Structure 1
């Protein structure tokens, strides 16, 4: 009796295509063509294979069915963080668009480390994916690894674009517009806003700080930037926001000012600092403290107070990245035009500002 069969009526479990070929009486090459494209075999063979698969338990090897094909039907994605809901949402958008195009997504994470990012690049190349979408570490990325990827595969950058990769197709948010939008809003409804920064290692954080400074100069206002240095080792994002703003509040500073945070995760920490000092940020509350962010992190509407921020059109970014990659794959990476697509940010007014 074949392994896996029994008195309970279990179907025999087959592990190889050779075993399946013998069990249902169809040649292995015919089975291989069937699993790659059922329409590539005759109708009688399709029907025979379909009937045979109902009698056995067999799952074709995902990678084996893609060997010796012009297209593997896979695209690779590299993201910098697994614990950031912004990138979770971006990954979801890419996966939905890729599935609609008939592709499977293979995800790697660089874990904010250039060496890991470079290894992820080599992994995608070795898997012979049809193309790649990468959210890089910015200027901390291994540029040599990215250049290898660009030579070997159709390749699109999302979220940030290192200066050394300005020749690579890029899909993202128009950060100068989006941060300028928030800066202008806060300047209009209260005192000139203060910028709560991060240690200057994050690529988009630097872009946001630069956009704030440019807008303040345009408005004829004096900029003020705090939180640029690391306060405690390993205190990033939310922890940094709480520590940096808590230090200001402890000295009696910024308790009645508008504060624009470099991103929503830092703003979450800033809100916690306000709560610790008994402050109640918001346009309709006592005092002048307002706290705002950037990105429209999925948790923003559910914070207390809910966070005013600038929304990035993550769905549009993911869809546009896949669409551009599909165009490059179909052209076998021979496109000469250089695509840069930037989506504007949208102000999301909530309770905190």
Structure 2
């Protein structure tokens, strides 16, 4: 005769002869019950082949351990890498993270946040789209749900922001390129998808002027998140010019630079620091693929680990304080210059 099918925790408590609160306490934390009780529960689990519906358990709690991690474009290896780091830190902190991607769509970003409400999350770690986000929607969400912003800052929203110091990216790359050769021209999208690009352009202009050089900003057409193709097509148009504004190109981000390097290869141009090279190319982010380009890409790197650690630490403080911090904080981590063959 087949063993009886247990449908819920109440039935399991009844057939195992253990009180419902004790069973619930065990599933929340096995070490919170006496050893003899724990052994009885585990024997009953094996006998009746019962496994609780963790999602349903969370729904019945006032506060769950669910945490949402929302990024703008998971197909971008940068966001995949930082999301992986944050997910690991959440698990270490005892949370149950779920990862979401808006894929550049503000409507999908809003839909994700709306669906997160149903999970009754302990908190949310959000890297917003930025300029394309529905700011009023996100502002209301942040007031209702404990939220930490990372990577892209929306001023005044969320309990805190954790990210990288975009000025430090530029200061290090521009200073190095000027010291070791010709001052760079800045290569960026005319309509950047990520708001960090604007901060980098502003920092570039300020740094060049402080060094006594005239800023040279090159804007290329293209919208969306296909940065490599945008960089490649923009580079083709730039390289057709009889005279470039500089033989040193500093790209706003590594994905644009990867496209730029592709165009240089197709044009038969040699990229690097040597006297036999036609161009130098550098960039920002330390994209996971940047060390494998040909030539490998000189770049300024995010401190993935520091941003991930601080984001989860701040979220933990926010949850433990009942969803409110005394004041909104902003934490920025400096970049680290990585010298490779391209510059």
Aligned counterparts of 2:121 and 2:157: Cα–Cα separation in 1: 23
Deviation (angstroms), 1:22? 5.4
The alignment status of 1:211 with 2:203, answered yes or no, reads yes
The alignment status of 1:319 with 2:309, answered yes or no, reads yes
The alignment status of 1:51 with 2:52, answered yes or no, reads no
Query: Which residue number corresponds to residue 2 of structure 2?
Result: 2
Aligned counterparts of 1:210 and 1:283: Cα–Cα separation in 2: 26
Query: Which residue number corresponds to residue 326 of structure 2?
Result: 336
The alignment status of 1:186 with 2:177, answered yes or no, reads yes
3-state secondary structure, aligned to 1:161: coil
Deviations 1:308-336 (CA, angstroms, capped at 9, x unpaired): 00000011101101101111111112322
Which residue of the other structure, out of 18, 27, 37, is the alignment partner of 1:35? 27
Aligned counterparts of 2:5 and 2:303: Cα–Cα separation in 1: 46
1:1-353 residue pairs with structure 2 within 5 A? 1-2=1-2, 14=6, 16-18=8-10, 20-21=12-13, 24-163=16-155, 165=156, 168-202=159-193, 203-230=195-222, 236-254=226-244, 257-284=247-274, 286-353=276-343
Deviation (angstroms), 1:235? 7.9
Aligned counterparts of 1:256 and 1:112: Cα–Cα separation in 2: 32
Q: How many residues align?
A: 342
Are the equivalent residues in 1 in contact too, given 2:146–2:323 (CA < 8 A)? yes
Aligned counterparts of 2:22 and 2:331: Cα–Cα separation in 1: 44
Deviation (angstroms), 1:234? 6.2
Aligned counterparts of 1:310 and 1:24: Cα–Cα separation in 2: 59
* More deviation, 205-214/259-268: 205-214
Deviations 1:254-285 (CA, angstroms, capped at 9, x unpaired): 39711001100000000100100111111135
* More deviation, 325-334/12-21: 12-21
Deviation (angstroms), 1:66? 1.9
Deviations 1:172-204 (CA, angstroms, capped at 9, x unpaired): 111011112111211222222111101323211
TM-score (norm. length: structure 2): 0.92
Deviations 1:147-182 (CA, angstroms, capped at 9, x unpaired): 12221122111001124x367411011101111211
What RMSD over aligned residues (CA atoms) do the two structures have, in Å? 2.2
Give ranges in structure 2 of 5+ residues lacking alignment.
Answer: none
Instruction: Summarize the Cα distance change of 1:56–1:252 in structure 2 as closer, same or farther, 3 Å threshold.
Output: farther
Give ranges in structure 1 of 5+ residues lacking alignment.
Answer: 4-11
3-state secondary structure, aligned to 2:108: helix
Deviation (angstroms), 1:28? 4.1
Aligned counterparts of 2:225 and 2:95: Cα–Cα separation in 1: 39
Are the equivalent residues in 1 in contact too, given 2:142–2:157 (CA < 8 A)? no
Deviation (angstroms), 1:59? 2.6
Deviation (angstroms), 1:58? 3.0
Aligned counterparts of 1:16 and 1:333: Cα–Cα separation in 2: 31
Instruction: Summarize the Cα distance change of 1:93–1:234 in structure 2 as closer, same or farther, 3 Å threshold.
Output: closer
Aligned counterparts of 2:147 and 2:275: Cα–Cα separation in 1: 48
Aligned counterparts of 1:235 and 1:171: Cα–Cα separation in 2: 22
Aligned counterparts of 1:239 and 1:322: Cα–Cα separation in 2: 34
